Structure 1
Amino acid sequence: MAPYTADQLETYLERISYPAFGDTRVQNVQVHKEADPLGTLSELQRRHLCSIPWGNSGLHYTQHHTISIHPQVIYDKLIHRKLDGYCMENSNLFYLILQSLGYQVYATGGRVSHAVATGRNDGLFLAIGHMILIVTIGNEKYMVDVGFGNNCATRPIPLKENIIVPHIAPSESRLVKESLLEFTDKTQKIWIYQTRYNPESEWMANICFSEVEFLPQDFGVMNFSVSRNPASWFTQTFVCMKMIMSEDEKEIEGQCVMSGREVKRRVCGKSEVVEKLESEEDRVRALGKWFGMHLREDEVQGIRGMASMIK
């Protein structure tokens, strides 16, 4: 039994602006998947990233300040309400969509690097707290991610070492397989997803992960830790971002990021501040303008008294 119904798939495809030919978008995507499964997967990932914001509003702009990763709760939040979600929401949704479309896919857990989390490029990683998808097409496995914010992979990356893949121009990405500094058994090697700003820059580790399948209950534990731990960055800071599609819809050319008191657009390696946020009213209005997110009054009131509130 597919996780989502045909009607839910149709609404999801409409949400990500997947083109409609023939009777339904679902029929169109199935025809393309049959002819070119990798190309179709790439297009789904690209459109998802450019349509559904990545962020953690559920921890700041709600009365309950919690995140549910139940499939129907995620679907209602990201598709019907058109709100944002962090990795275990966005990636969980995409995982279940791919399952429903007939892809061979499973989920595994990843660790975020200190370089990303703290700015210290010391070769160390945080505890497991990220969701990665592994999709098998033919005899090849691919890393797929729609939940890593600014440095998220923008296309499927083959599980092969040192294949350089375009990211958001001029940046590039790749996978390498190495042992971690803290491993006591150095014969154990895992995948490390790296990016660099341009071909002349140094590679930076973003996430490490193995190929071991994780179960829904594993992500339940991870989600609880990431969303409820007072020391978690997600509980302290509000952030929202969405990728920007090129005019021909063939590439991702940039991203729109709300962080702190600014909204920035980064396109083709150039960044500009497009709006300054002086108050909570400014930020709520900007969420609608730049991300298509429209919060209810009870959600807006939820941030009162929190460290993340603009005062």
Structure 2
Amino acid sequence: MTTPADPTYTWLGEELDLDAYLARIGFAGDRTPTLATLRALVRAHTTAIPFENLEIILGRGIALDLETVQDKLIRRRRGGYCYENVTLFAAALERLGFEFTAMSGRVTRGATTLRPATHSLLRVATADDDRHWLCDVGYGAGPLEPVELAPDRGEFRAGAWRFRLDRQLDAVGGELWTLYQFGKDGFVDRHTFATTPQYRVDFAVGNHFVSTSPRSPFTMRPFVQRFHADVHHQLDGTTWTTDYPDGTDEVRELEAGELPKVLAEVFDIELDEADAARLIRADWPAARGRGGLAT
């Protein structure tokens, strides 16, 4: 008789409404745990579900239980930040039979000071390939596809977007990876991560800090992203930036009253009348610059 797995080590894939999730991201392909399926899932998820922290700004906070996550991201067609996206994607991978390990990363964005490990990622293996793949569906800016975790990976393209992946060793000889992304300032380090396994309970701790601490930028102002194959939109407070794969960008300052309309038309996030009014009236500080994210 097989001993049931401790559910605290799982991602509760059996509780996921898989059909609804796949419909939400527009995936109609093969449901076997192959590399082709993984590539299609990553592309579909990253380009279908926006990144957002609006529940925090609206005073409701972020819950990571799977029922709440799938109600928000699937049924209500809202977005989420890294912990929510990875919780949902991990449940789908588990349900489909993929082998994977969750990991934590430190968002750097060119910072020279040590940042907390408050970003979530996945290291995935497939049934038809012996390599391991980085799946970063919760950052809000791609990559559009899984990235091979190879020491000599170097520069690569995911669609039209340019990245670089480097591996070094940490202080005790473990793997320490850095993902760079190309933009108007050239290649800038986006985040570092180690391959130490993480679990739902670890993400709960990080999520608590990110969603409640006054030191977290996500408790300070709205931060929303919408990523497509050819354009990336970012809303930081009232600053709306549109980035393109060639490194060019466009920046526009919005009035608070414009936010609900822009969220609906650009970011695919429709707030009801009460939430739209609450967002406009919210007493949150102005954006503190594009380099201030903790996750």
TM-score greater than 0.5 by the shorter chain: yes
Q: CA deviation at 1:220?
A: 0.8
The aligned counterpart of 1:53 is 50
The separation in 2 between residues aligned to 1:156 and 1:49, in whole angstroms, is 11
Residue of structure 1 aligned with 2:145, choices 147, 150, 155: 155
Q: Deviations over 1:139-183 (max 9, x none)?
A: 221111111123x4322111211313214635223232233xxx4
Match of 2:115, SS state, is strand
Residue 98 (structure 2) pairs with residue 103 (structure 1): yes
The separation in 2 between residues aligned to 1:73 and 1:98, in whole angstroms, is 18
Residue of structure 1 aligned with 2:254, choices 243, 255, 277: 277
Does the aligned pair in 1 maintain the 2:242–2:249 contact within 8 Å? yes
C-alpha RMSD of the superposition: 2.7
Does the aligned pair in 1 maintain the 2:11–2:94 contact within 8 Å? yes
Whichever residue aligns with residue 37 of structure 2, its letter is: T
Q: CA deviation at 1:126?
A: 0.7
Structure 2: which 5+ runs fail to align?
A: 1-9, 288-295
Figure out how many residues of one structure are paired with residues of the other and give that number: 273
Does the aligned pair in 2 maintain the 1:63–1:302 contact within 8 Å? no
Residue 17 (structure 2) pairs with residue 8 (structure 1): yes
Whichever residue aligns with residue 29 of structure 1, its letter is: D
Q: CA deviation at 1:4?
A: 4.4
Does the aligned pair in 1 maintain the 2:104–2:117 contact within 8 Å? yes
Between 262-271 and 97-106, the greater mean CA deviation after superposition: 262-271
Q: CA deviation at 1:85?
A: 0.5
The aligned counterpart of 2:3 is none
Alignment of 1:25-174 (within 5 A): 28-30=29-31, 33=32, 37-60=34-57, 62-64=58-60, 66-113=61-108, 116=109, 119-120=110-111, 122=112, 124-137=113-126, 138-150=129-141, 152-163=142-153, 164-167=155-158, 169=160, 171-174=162-165
Residue 201 (structure 2) pairs with residue 192 (structure 1): no
The separation in 2 between residues aligned to 1:234 and 1:205, in whole angstroms, is 20
The aligned counterpart of 2:292 is none
Share of identical aligned residues, percent?
25
Q: CA deviation at 1:233?
A: 0.9
Does the aligned pair in 1 maintain the 2:167–2:175 contact within 8 Å? no
The separation in 2 between residues aligned to 1:6 and 1:69, in whole angstroms, is 14
Between 292-301 and 222-231, the greater mean CA deviation after superposition: 292-301
Match of 1:218, SS state, is helix
Q: CA deviation at 1:218?
A: 1.0
With over 3 angstroms needed to count, the CA separation of the structure-2 counterparts of 1:125 and 1:43, relative to structure 1, is: farther
